[in-house]
Structure 1
């Protein structure tokens, strides 16, 4: 089995950078410093990366097709986590939030 395509690795790297910088989907998360809440325990951060990875689509050549959508869905989860009155639209489906692994 080979490595993830370069485009996928670049998307994940930039997503992690924006997330750690506090600049993921600035419009949706405007005024919300989510970093203290998310980085205190690993489970919230784990869920964010699961959503991003589950929503991310890649074509046959390994090019990422919907990085913005994957980031937006992760941002919606972050907003709901930090603001219980916020409702993601559309609501999350099970496949989007599923955690994969051993």
Structure 2
């Protein structure tokens, strides 16, 4: 299957997220929403009510996932499983005070972008 080229805008930025990135985000949202994000790490923790009640926690989960997600020059995701796992670690750390994230989050992983 031939890869659809990423259309750059005049300033060199991408006009749309590549299909693979959109798919990674869609699957992440699906797993997050139905309670199956990293079943092993989050076993027995129903994080959905917590995340969806307090919007800033959901905001941070999305930030961790998208900050960790890597994309190659062709718009293909390279580590969506790793990005999901780091997001799951953040969730577990918020829901389980005994859990320690290893390795600890670096500042760039939890940085919020935008206005």
CA apart distance, 1:84: 1.1
- Name the larger-Rg structure: 2
Secondary structure in 2 aligned to 1:88? coil
The unaligned stretches of length 5 or more in structure 2 are 1-8, 10-14
Q: What CA deviation, in whole Å up to 9, does each residue of 1:77-101 have, x standing for no partner?
A: 0000000110100000000000000
The TM-score with structure 1 as length reference comes to 0.98
1:7 is matched with 20
Indicate which of 11, 22, 33 corresponds to 2:35: 22
CA distance in 2, matches of 1:84, 1:67: 26
Larger RCO (CA within 8 A; separation ≥ 6): 1
Aligned residues: 102
CA distance in 2, matches of 1:18, 1:54: 18
CA apart distance, 1:32: 0.4
Q: Any residues of structure 2 matched to 1:31-70 within 5 Å, and which?
A: 31-70=44-83
Q: Which has the higher helix share?
A: 1
CA RMSD of aligned residues (A): 0.5
The TM-score with structure 2 as length reference comes to 0.87
1:98 is matched with 111
